[in-house]
């Protein structure tokens, strides 16, 4: 598509920048911040004329908001899974009752969501999920199983869970997409996973007979694969451009470190820095080119391959330009601060996971090979 910002888009950008400047102070509680966003109408910009969001915005205005948000230093969003993943899925596949129940609290920033897809042994292979959902005599479902790498599960009020409702089914057949409340003591347990960075954004979630109401199955029983694949298509888009604003800020810090340490005088290092800059511009142009398009099965996979590898290389470059000082923490270790990282050390360690989460590089290449290039499907059971 021919993508550009019109005068009304820039006016919208100015309104967003002004609002953020007046509300971001760097000390907000993330849940309270979601309510602040909702109260001022900044959640649900991409829901169109659904009647369940707040203000409506064109695609270019959504990009402007996302970019200004990234530049503002506002808190990382706790509500983006509900807003960007669940809501479009309900608008596409949910019943009127499901939309009326779940979309207004998301728009208000009152209910937070997490995604129950990946499992041990079935990370990127969603068709291999083993979590079970059994219909009880009262008509509700009882869910048992384990999910892993569940972002923000420790904060979430609800989880959308891909589970097997037909015990005789295999692979992508017999799956259902269920909306499950997290506040079920004894039935839902969340265990944080400590990462290389010392933080715990991801979690394990254990379901032991957790309840889900029959009317909270999205798209109908046995239609979970169709709904789940539709949801994955919403994972990339406007947010990719906002992500690139953050990448540009990180690249600036790496360049500043190279100048400070003197290695920017090395022509090899300069070439690596210029390459990172040029590739980031290329990713932006590609994102703008494909934004709002449809029918290109390979576009999300290409975008994921591009940014994941780029971000990993940036982390490695950040350590290269700092030399030996990259191995030293920013603070003296002690009982109260046993593990501290600065921004560039965090970048390097966290980026190691970029080529795995959200669909590994291998999975993305398989999608491109089979769905775009038309190559034969990979044989099953061949070692």
User: Strands, E, within 11-157: which ranges?
Assistant: 113-116, 132-135, 141-147
Question: 105 phi and psi, to 5 degrees?
Answer: -65, -30
User: Are residues 314 and 353 in contact, defined by beta-carbon separation less than 8 angstroms?
Assistant: no
Is residue 46 classed exposed, middle or buried when 0-12, 13-18 and 19+ CB atoms within 10 A define those classes? buried
Q: Which two tokens stand for residue 302?
A: 């290409």
Q: Which two tokens stand for residue 116?
A: 């129950």
Up-side HSE of residue 154: CA atoms within 13 Å toward CB?
12
Contacts of 115 (CB under 8 A, 6+ apart): 81, 85, 150, 151, 159, 160
Query: Active-site positions?
Result: 235
User: Are residues 252 and 273 in contact, defined by beta-carbon separation less than 8 angstroms?
Assistant: no
User: Are residues 345 and 315 in contact, defined by beta-carbon separation less than 8 angstroms?
Assistant: no
What's the rounded Cα separation, in Å, for the pair 40 and 74? 15
Q: Quick one: angle between helices 299-322 and 238-261, nearest 10?
A: 20
Q: Which two tokens stand for residue 268?
A: 């090899």
Q: Which two tokens stand for residue 149?
A: 């790498």
């Amino acid at each position: 598509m021919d993508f550009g910002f019109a005068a009304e888009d820039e006016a919208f950008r100015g309104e967003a920048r002004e609002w953020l400047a007046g509300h971001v102070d760097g000390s907000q509680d993330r849940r309270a911040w979601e309510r602040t966003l909702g109260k001022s109408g900044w959640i649900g910009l991409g829901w169109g004329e659904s009647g369940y969001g707040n203000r409506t915005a064109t695609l270019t205005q959504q990009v402007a908001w996302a970019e200004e948000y990234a530049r503002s230093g506002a808190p990382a969003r706790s509500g983006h899974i509900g807003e960007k993943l669940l809501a479009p899925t309900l608008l596409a596949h949910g019943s009127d009752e499901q939309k009326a129940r779940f979309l207004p609290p998301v728009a208000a920033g009152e209910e937070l969501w997490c995604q129950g897809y990946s499992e041990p042994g079935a990370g990127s292979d969603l068709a291999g999920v083993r979590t079970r959902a059994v219909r009880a005599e009262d008509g509700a479902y009882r869910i048992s199983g384990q999910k892993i790498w569940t972002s923000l599960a420790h904060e979430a009020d609800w989880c959308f869970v891909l589970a097997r409702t037909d015990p005789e089914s295999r692979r992508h057949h017999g799956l259902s997409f269920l909306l499950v409340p997290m506040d079920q003591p004894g039935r839902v347990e969340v265990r944080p996973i400590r990462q290389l960075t010392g933080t715990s954004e991801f979690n394990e979630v254990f379901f032991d007979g957790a309840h889900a109401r029959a009317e909270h199955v999205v798209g109908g029983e046995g239609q979970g694969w169709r709904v789940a694949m539709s949801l994955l298509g919403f994972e990339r888009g406007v947010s990719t451009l906002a992500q690139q604003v953050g990448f540009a800020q990180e690249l600036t810090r790496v360049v500043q470190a190279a100048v400070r340490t003197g290695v920017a005088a090395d022509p090899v290092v300069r070439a690596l820095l210029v390459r990172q800059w040029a590739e980031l511009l290329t990713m932006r142009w590609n994102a703008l080119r494909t934004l709002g398009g449809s029918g290109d099965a390979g576009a999300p996979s290409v975008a994921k391959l591009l940014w994941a590898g780029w971000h990993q290389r940036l982390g490695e470059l950040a350590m290269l330009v700092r030399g030996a000082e990259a191995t030293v923490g920013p603070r003296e270790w002690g009982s109260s601060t046993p593990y501290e990282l600065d921004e560039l050390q965090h970048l390097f360690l966290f980026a190691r996971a970029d080529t795995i989460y959200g669909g590994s590089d291998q999975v993305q290449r398989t999608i491109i090979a089979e769905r775009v290039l038309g190559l034969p499907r990979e044989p099953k059971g061949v070692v």
